[in-house]
A and B are shown apart, each in its own frame.
Chain A
Amino acid sequence: MDYKLDLNYKSSDFRSKNGIGFKDPIPFKSLLNKLNILCVFKPLSEEISGMVGQLESLKFMLINSNHSIGRQNFTIAHEFYHLYYDKNFKKAIVDYKNSNEGEEKKASTFASVLILPDGLIDLIPEKERGKNKITIQTLVKIEQYYQSSRTALLIRLKNMNFINDEYIEQNRNNVINQAKMLGYDCSLYFKGNENVVVGEYASIAKKLYDNEIISESNYIDYLIDVGMNSEEIDLNAFDE
């Protein structure tokens, strides 16, 4: 089977198994929670996108919080491929920005189709469906709806034969100002999520503390390890 078609099936399979409609945006953080993936966001060098791994039944990801939110979403989708479809997955993978070979390329194609499904066409007005006719307003509308980076969107539209390389060159810059001028929230284009931990880590720590299995200082240490500072920790927050 053509590998792109195969990855299209895989992304549909992923959506279907997780109850996400074929045209809907991916709810990244709630999906990570649902899949019980421990996802930690940390500031890393530009060239590292993230890491993914599995240890016993625990699946975990490290995502570069120095990248824009749109790019972080792409990395998360890329890592979903490694966790659920990569036959060569070896328990721990480091993903670099420019890795474009074998399973890495497949993971990126999967991510592109998963985040920006064929159904995005519904957001393109009829009169803009010819070659290179899509307006900037439509680009911004699509990337905001699907929480995608501009780069990922342009590559996807090229693969769908809506645009060519020249169009990409003309429309890859000035993205933040365009979104701002159209009244959108621009957080998608900026870095974020530093030290955010998605998963049940803090809930499990609380459960152990509440049941007096770990001491107060143990509990506090666990919270400090995920980036909370001691002044933020309020052990009485759940008191009635």
Chain B
Amino acid sequence: MNLLGANMKRYREYNSLTQKELADFLGCSREVISYYESGSRIPKIDVLNKISDIFGIELCELLEESSEMVEENLVLAFRKNDYSNEDFGEIASFKRIIKNYMKMERLITEYGL
């Protein structure tokens, strides 16, 4: 299992998602998720973007090696209960807004605005 696949699996499990549920959200089959997680296939960039949105993390963090960093990011990972696929999409877009906001706040601080 490569790092990307291992992180995908970890975030998916933390969000209490099955491979099938993640596959439904991404519009692919469960087997494809299994390939991604085992490292035998690499997701395209647009798929990675969708995956990072639903986990509420930055795309680059799917490649993050430090487990401490990964844990820190999990605070944004709302646990899935019985959301519909539509809810799932709306929640992903909400997480994206939060991610953007955090990113912008960091830039504001960094540039002293």
* Chain B interfacial residues counted at CB < 8 A: 26
Q: Which residues of B contact A40 (CB under 8 A)?
A: 94, 97
The answer to whether B97 touches A91, judged by C-beta atoms less than 8 angstroms apart, is no
Q: In the complex, what distance in Å separates the CA atom of A5 from the CA atom of B49?
A: 48
Contact partner of A94 (CB less than 8 A), chosen from B75, B79, B96, B107, is B79
Task: Say yes or no for B35: interface residue by CB 8 A criterion.
Answer: no
With A38-B101, A60-B98, A205-B104 known as contacts, the answer to whether A44 contacts B90 (CB < 8 A) is yes
Task: Say yes or no for B113: interface residue by CB 8 A criterion.
Answer: yes
Q: Which residues of A contact B76 (CB under 8 A)?
A: 53, 55, 92
Per-residue CB contact flags for chain A residues 203-231 toward chain B (1 = under 8 Å, else 0) read: 01101100101100000001001100000
Task: Say yes or no for A58: interface residue by CB 8 A criterion.
Answer: yes
The answer to whether A62 touches B94, judged by C-beta atoms less than 8 angstroms apart, is yes
Q: Which residues of B contact A204 (CB under 8 A)?
A: 101, 104-105, 108
The answer to whether A201 touches B75, judged by C-beta atoms less than 8 angstroms apart, is no
With A92-B78, A208-B108 known as contacts, the answer to whether A225 contacts B93 (CB < 8 A) is yes
Instruction: Please report which residues of chain A, range 1-59, place their CB below 8 angstroms from some CB of chain B when the two chains form the complex.
Output: 38, 40, 42-45, 48, 51, 53, 55-56, 58
Q: Is the interface of B mostly helix, strand, loop or mixed?
A: helix
Task: Say yes or no for A197: interface residue by CB 8 A criterion.
Answer: yes
Q: Which residues of A contact B113 (CB under 8 A)?
A: 207-208, 211, 213
Q: How large is the interface on A (under 10, 10 to 19, 20 to 34, 35 or more residues)?
A: 20 to 34
- Residue in B81, B90, B93 whose Cβ sees the most chain A Cβ within 10 Å: B90
The answer to whether B101 touches A58, judged by C-beta atoms less than 8 angstroms apart, is yes
Q: In the complex, what distance in Å separates the CA atom of A180 from the CA atom of B104?
A: 44
Tally inter-chain residue pairs, CB-CB below 8 A: 82
Task: Say yes or no for B40: interface residue by CB 8 A criterion.
Answer: no
With A207-B113, A208-B108, A214-B107 known as contacts, the answer to whether A45 contacts B98 (CB < 8 A) is no
Task: Say yes or no for B71: interface residue by CB 8 A criterion.
Answer: no
Q: In the complex, what distance in Å separates the CA atom of A207 from the CA atom of B79?
A: 34
Closest to B98 in A: A60
Q: Which residues of A contact B98 (CB under 8 A)?
A: 38, 53, 55, 58, 60
Min CB distance, B91 to chain A, in Å? 7
The answer to whether A62 touches B105, judged by C-beta atoms less than 8 angstroms apart, is no
Min CB distance, A82 to chain B, in Å? 14
* 28 examples of A-B residue contacts, CB within 8 angstroms: A38-B101, A42-B90, A42-B93, A43-B90, A44-B86, A44-B87, A44-B91, A45-B86, A45-B87, A51-B78, A51-B91, A51-B94, A53-B78, A55-B75, A55-B98, A58-B98, A58-B102, A92-B78, A94-B78, A197-B97, A201-B101, A204-B101, A207-B113, A208-B108, A213-B111, A213-B113, A222-B100, A222-B104
